[in-house]
Amino acid sequence: MYDRRIAARVKGKVYKTVVRPAMMYGLETVALILSQFVILFWKCLQNHNVWHNASVYNKPFVESFEETPLLVAVLTYMGYGILTLFGYLRDFLRDWNFEKCHVAKERDEQKDFVPLYQDFENFYTRNLYMRIRDNWNRPICSVPGARMDVMERVTHDYNWTFKHTGTVLFDVINMGSYNYLGFAENSGLCANAAVEAAMKYGLGVCGTRHEIGNLDKHEELEKLVARFLGVESSMVFGMGFATNSMNIPTLAGKGCLILSDELNHASLVLGARLSGSTIRVFKHNNMQSLEKLLRDAIVHGQPRTHRPWKKILILVEGIYSMEGSIVRLPEVIALKKKYKAYLYLDEAHSIGALGPGGRGVVDYFGLDPCDVDIMMGTFTKSFGAAGGYIGGNKELIDYLRTHSHSAIYATSMSPPVAQQIITSMKCIMGEDGTTLGQERLCQLSKNTTYFRRRLQEMGFIIYGNNDSPVVPLMLYMPAKIGAFGREMLKRNIGTVVVGFPATPIIESRARFCVSAAHTKEMLDTALNAISEVGDLLQLKYSRHAWPSDEETNHFSYLDSHQD
Amino acid sequence: MIQTTKMASGQQWVLVEMVQAFYEAPAYHLILEGILILWIIRLLFSKTYKLQERSDLTEKEKEELIEEWQPEPLVPAVSNDHPSLNYDVVTGPPSHKITVNGKECINFASFNFLGLLDNERVKQKALASLKKYGVGTCGPRGFYGTFDVHLELEERLAKFMKTEEAIIYSYGFATIASAIPAYSKRGDIVFVDEAACFSIQKGLQASRSFIKYFKHNDMEDLERLLKEQELEDQKNPRKARVTRRFIVVEGLYMNTSDICPLPELVKLKYKYKVRIFLEESMSFGVLGEHGRGVTEHFGVSIDDIDLISANMENAVASIGGFCCGRSFVIDHQRLSGQGYCFSASLPPMLASAAIEALNIMEEDPEIFTILREKCKHAHKALQDIPGLKVVGEAFAPALHLQLEHSTGSRESDVRTLRSIIDYCLDRQIALTQARYLDKEERFLPPPSIRVVVTVEQTEEEIEKATSCIREAALARLE
């Protein structure tokens, strides 16, 4: 009798921990994998590099997304399959107390509350992310410049907790920070000016722009930003993410349509969602897809009511931070004009990093900034500061001043941060009386071309535009994400690796951000290490024919950007 | 030949087994499979476009429609004399002495409660940090944007608040607005006070949960809603088992300057099994013997609150915000807090400034008593001003002065209050109106003048300010 009861309980537990999840996840996993295969084949059928409307570009627009080799794709899915199976096994063992469970527990008093997290919500974190968690959040203790000091940490429980050993890995080459123009500095003009501003104004503001938090520094900065962008007026905000999420709702609302690129940043997605508009998504940088959505939207009007849309807002980014692609701006502008839509351009990564004058993607294509209705960007990257801006005509900015959530409810920008932007921007514009800014711009462009070219020659699959300083290198398999990050750090190079959910499930990648502060020696050291690790992990997937090694030797660093 | 027969028989056997398995399978399984197959067939054959959007328009007609369509302007025009278009310009630091529009005044407007904004120690610490790390972090926390000072600040905040863990955000507004949607998802239920500030409202909107507003500080109303929900749950216990529920309240309300009845809230929490999120931007570094906020003020155990969030832009006089609580709760935000994951981290010098501010607060808890005394003094002095009423607790450092008798039009009320502020500005008292987005606020508070008390203000200055407001009210409200 007693035995039977135990048996029943064991059976119940087995059912709860094995059968039920297996049924739930098993079906899901199979469906997921199958659907991914369909997408994969579909992608193989389509040609990725479509060239159209070449006439609107004043320079070659070369962007490549080499398709995933089929075998690699299959192996990647198998990798995830094995990881998932082991995940179930480990969860099972944890449930039966065979394995120590490190997950923080709910306090006893609240055990009978509705669980704060569903068990399956964290399956991925617990069983996949946790294994390679040491590749992220690596603490540093220096300027995030071309070289940085990384604090060494160890784990005795497989990445559940970390301990700092106290040792510092000095002068790690930094290929991860968005320091495009090398303005992340602790000495020199910018830092000195920031020190002075901090001495004069203090650090905080303790008020919003509307409530005694509007400093003369902010006004000075806004005038300069407007001049830099070539627009009538501008407004600055304390956080880049919030610039998007707090201002899109003031520009669009119910009855408006937002057309958003499928790879837009989370802040744009959040802003669009908070606005209450209808959101439709077009394929990444695909102008046919955008045009179709525009046509259909105007012809059919709003769903159900069939009223015409109040306005249509297109959201695009300058450089896409995970793909390294550059927006097809001339075509977007042509479409926006044809269909009378408004254009919101997020230049988080492109401002300062593209264009002969560092004025972003508009400058890069030689277009008129007035053709972009809302010019948005951040100061975190190229300017080595923090915050964001919106530029445009005076009516737009006046409206934002009176209606932006940020102006009314959020503390304004810290004065030394504002000063850092002012000084670095003046340097880019050459208003400091030197050519240092121009030199940095040239250096960045030279470094980008060199670095991308060399990686392609080595046989890696590199995504994105040839002129983009964001360089994604494809890793595909989940195990290689962790291995690449660790092997690179062993060679004293700090890189960023990303996988699902930041990328599609099979397209895990490493990402390098080229900086003007990198010297040729640093890039060469990094490239040699990448090549070495690439051989070790068999990452040289590319089947494109690039010039052979011999030819490479003729291709020198300086030749690369003489035009 | 033999081989082929073997193979054929082998296959046959498999087939037989399949059929057998088919017979043995339980009915519900077969029905499920059947439905799935039908569903797949439906998906395969259904058309991708929506039926209602199908039209038989010719290309020419389409072109005409496109030609015809005129969008609204991107933004409506703003008149040049819009009351909030022309900001007051502050030259120099917004500290105790502040220069507004060229006039030097005593500051009764900035949330610099503890006077740490131009504290020499804070500045020196921040400068040292600036000289070590530069200004920006050039990356989010995940990608080499975690600095040793961030880790130190998180540790110090956790220690200060006596919680297991703390997490910092680079922007005060984004803190609670990111924290709420990290836990509360579609289908979950949030009970929230009507007077909740704007960043809570945005967080709730982003969470897409069911929002139930209860009357400001009215525990009976809250209990009524909780009971209603309990009845609802009994009807559908399966759903109730996975529906998370939260109460979101502020410690000291930004919009009304009064305090939430925390002990009662905690009772309701255990009675109805609801989690409490507490926004403490106005009360952190203000209330309680050691400045830990409302929990310390009421002597409520901090473990009973599931999540506390506050910004470091008021009492701490830096930039950014933080959440603290048990690791079980807080750690989840490191992957799910949007404003944490997808934003560049806090500039290290601002983190250093916050650390030094915590040092000062820990070394000298006397400062909180002084602040409370000054608040009480100001609160008392502001009573009985003809035409104006004081809204808020006596110990609240940011009070509201509302018109006793509204003219009925918000616009003219705002103008009247502005004229009082201008009168005071002329006499070296800097004040400001509490600003709101009239159309966006869920429950728009009446227009008011904000009076902020700080430890740096002397009794004479508070006297001067209150008598100045009194004069202005007499002059402008008659």
> In this structure, what DSSP letter does residue B347 have?
P
* Residue B210 contacts A where some CB pair is shorter than 8 Å: no
Alpha-carbon gap, residue A447 to A453, rounded angstroms: 10
What H or E segment, with its residue span, contains residue A259? strand A257-261
Chain-chain contact of B142 with A213 (C-beta, under 8 angstroms): no
Q: Among the residues of B46-167, which ranges form H helices?
A: 59-68, 120-133, 148-161
Chain-chain contact of B137 with A144 (C-beta, under 8 angstroms): yes
Topology annotation, domain A207-429: Aspartate Aminotransferase; domain 2 (3.40.640)
Alpha-carbon gap, residue B388 to B434, rounded angstroms: 15
| B90 interaction partners in chain A (CB closer than 8 Å) | 212-216
pLDDT band at B51 (very low <50, low <70, confident <90, very high): low
What is the pLDDT, as a whole number, of residue A86?
A: 92
Q: What is the pLDDT of residues B387-439, one digit of tens each?
A: 999 999 999 999 999 999 988 899 999 999 999 999 999 999 999 999 999 88
Alpha-carbon gap, residue A108 to A419, rounded angstroms: 50
What H or E segment, with its residue span, contains residue A512? strand A508-513
> In this structure, what DSSP letter does residue A509 have?
E
Residues 89-108 of B with CB under 8 A from A: 89-95, 98, 100, 107
Chain-chain contact of B342 with A209 (C-beta, under 8 angstroms): no
Q: Which amino acid is at A184?
A: A
Question: What is chain A's Cα-based Rg?
Answer: 26
Closest-CA residue to A170 (of A185, A148, A186): A148
| B66 interaction partners in chain A (CB closer than 8 Å) | 295, 298-299, 339
Closest CA–CA distance from residue A4 to any residue of chain B (Å): 24
| B73 interaction partners in chain A (CB closer than 8 Å) | 311, 395
By Cβ distance, the residue of B78, B273, B440 closest to A399 is B78
Q: What is the pLDDT of residues B276-311, one digit of tens each?
A: 999 999 999 999 999 999 999 999 999 999 999 999
What is the pLDDT, as a whole number, of residue B4?
A: 45
By Cβ distance, the residue of A381, A399, A401 closest to B138 is A381
Q: Residue B73: closest CA among chain A residues belongs to which residue?
A: A311
Q: What is the pLDDT of residues A393-402, one digit of tens each?
A: 999 999 999 9
Size of interface A-B (CB pairs under 8 A): 361
Closest CA–CA distance from residue A242 to any residue of chain B (Å): 7
| B112 interaction partners in chain A (CB closer than 8 Å) | 204, 206
Query: What six digits make up the tokens of B262?
Result: 């925390």
By Cβ distance, the residue of A386, A395, A399 closest to B347 is A386
Alpha-carbon gap, residue A416 to B349, rounded angstroms: 10
Instruction: Using the structure block, give the residue that is written with the tokens 């008020």.
Output: A207
By Cβ distance, the residue of B122, B142, B432 closest to A212 is B432
Q: What is the pLDDT of residues B71-81, one digit of tens each?
A: 999 999 888 87
* Residue B454 contacts A where some CB pair is shorter than 8 Å: no
Q: What Å distances lie between residue B208 and A270, B151, B462, CA to CA?
A: 12, 32, 45
What is the pLDDT, as a whole number, of residue A554?
A: 40
Q: What number of other Cβ atoms are within 10 A of residue B409's Cβ?
A: 9
Residues 283-322 of B with CB under 8 A from A: 303, 311, 313-314, 316-319
Closest CA–CA distance from residue A428 to any residue of chain B (Å): 17
Query: What six digits make up the tokens of A277?
Result: 């508009």
What does chain B come to in residues? 478
**Domain A72-142+152-168+436-563, CATH class in plain words:** alpha beta
| A201 interaction partners in chain B (CB closer than 8 Å) | 92-93
Share of chain B above pLDDT 90, in %: 81
| B93 interaction partners in chain A (CB closer than 8 Å) | 200-202, 415
* Residue B327 contacts A where some CB pair is shorter than 8 Å: yes
Chosen from B33, B117, B144 to mutate, greatest number of chain A CBs within 10 A = B144
By Cβ distance, the residue of B74, B144, B244 closest to A494 is B144
Instruction: Using the structure block, give the residue that is written with the tokens 């908070």.
Output: A274
Instruction: Using the structure block, give the residue that is written with the tokens 């610099």.
Output: B112
Q: Which amino acid is at A446?
A: K
What is the pLDDT, as a whole number, of residue B42?
A: 87
Share of chain B above pLDDT 70, in %: 95
Pairing state between β A464-465 and A388-392: unpaired
Question: What is chain B's Cα-based Rg?
Answer: 30
What is the pLDDT, as a whole number, of residue B354?
A: 97
What is the pLDDT, as a whole number, of residue A559?
A: 42
Q: Which amino acid is at A486?
A: R
What H or E segment, with its residue span, contains residue A22? helix A20-45
Closest CA–CA distance from residue A382 to any residue of chain B (Å): 8
Chain-chain contact of B339 with A241 (C-beta, under 8 angstroms): yes
What is the pLDDT, as a whole number, of residue A42?
A: 61
Q: Are B344 and B170 in contact (CB under 8 A)?
A: yes
Alpha-carbon gap, residue B379 to A99, rounded angstroms: 60
Task: Locate the domains of chain A by residue range.
Answer: 8-50, 72-142+152-168+436-563, 207-429
Enumerate the β-bridge partners of residue B400.
B391, B450
What is the pLDDT, as a whole number, of residue A23?
A: 53
CA geometry: angle at B75 spanning B70 and B78, to 5°?
A: 130
- Report how far apart the first and last C-alpha atoms of chain A are (Å, whole number): 89
What secondary structure does DSSP assign to B10-29, as a single string? HHHHHHHHHHHHHHHS-HHH
Closest CA–CA distance from residue A94 to any residue of chain B (Å): 17
What is the pLDDT, as a whole number, of residue A14?
A: 52
pLDDT band at B196 (very low <50, low <70, confident <90, very high): very high
What is the pLDDT, as a whole number, of residue A556?
A: 43
* Residue B70 contacts A where some CB pair is shorter than 8 Å: yes
Say if A72-142+152-168+436-563 and A207-429 have the same CATH topology.
no
| A104 interaction partners in chain B (CB closer than 8 Å) | 326-328, 331
What is the value of ipTM here, to two decimals? 0.88
Q: What Å distances lie between residue A452 and A312, A459, A469, CA to CA?
A: 37, 11, 8
By Cβ distance, the residue of A198, A211, A216 closest to B91 is A216
What is the pLDDT, as a whole number, of residue A28?
A: 57
Q: What's the whole-number mean pLDDT along residues B361-386?
A: 94
pTM: 0.88
Chosen from A153, A212, A336, A401 to mutate, greatest number of chain B CBs within 10 A = A212
Q: Are A378 and A348 in contact (CB under 8 A)?
A: yes
Q: What is the pLDDT of residues A65-100, one digit of tens each?
A: 888 889 999 999 999 999 999 999 998 998 888 888
Chain-chain contact of A405 with B202 (C-beta, under 8 angstroms): yes
By Cβ distance, the residue of B50, B65, B171 closest to A239 is B171
Closest CA–CA distance from residue A276 to any residue of chain B (Å): 10
User: Where are any strands of DSSP class E within B236-361?
Assistant: 245-250, 275-279, 307-311, 321-325
Closest-CA residue to B248 (of B312, B291, B202, B300): B202
Q: Give me the residues of chain A with pLDDT under 70, please.
A: 1-54, 546-563
Chain-chain contact of B93 with A201 (C-beta, under 8 angstroms): yes
